[in-house]
Amino acid sequence: MIPLMYGLIFASILFVIGLLGVMIRRNLYFLLLSLVIMNNGAIAALFVASSYWQQSDGEVLAILAVTGVLAQISVGLALLVKLIYRRKNFNIDSLSEMKG
């Protein structure tokens, strides 16, 4: 069994990598990918903690979180396809332009 500290360090590294990707990138595709990496870090922490304390509640919550992440990905990819169709680019800054 993996020790609790190693699993939490791994989960926090995943979360920080995703957070840096959200803060640095301006491309919508990489922004969505970074959000998924952040969510995977949180889900990994849930799995590690639930296996350490031998409780199945954390694993059930992690499975529910995975379904939430899948819904988030599907909505984000739909928005990405709509952005490509309308603006022909992936840049988030083009979304801030107001048109009347």
The 10s digit of each residue's pLDDT in 45-68 is: 999 999 999 999 989 999 999 999
pTM: 0.85
Summarised one tens digit per residue, pLDDT across range 12-33 is 999 999 999 999 988 888 989 9
Q: How many residues can be counted in the chain?
A: 100
CA 52 from centre of chain: 24
State residue 99's pLDDT score: 65
**What is the Cα–Cα distance from 32 to 73, expressed in whole angstroms?**
7
Rounded Cα gap, residues 41 and 47, in angstroms: 10
* Widest CA span in the chain: 59
As a whole number of angstroms, the distance between CA 12 and CA 18 comes to 10
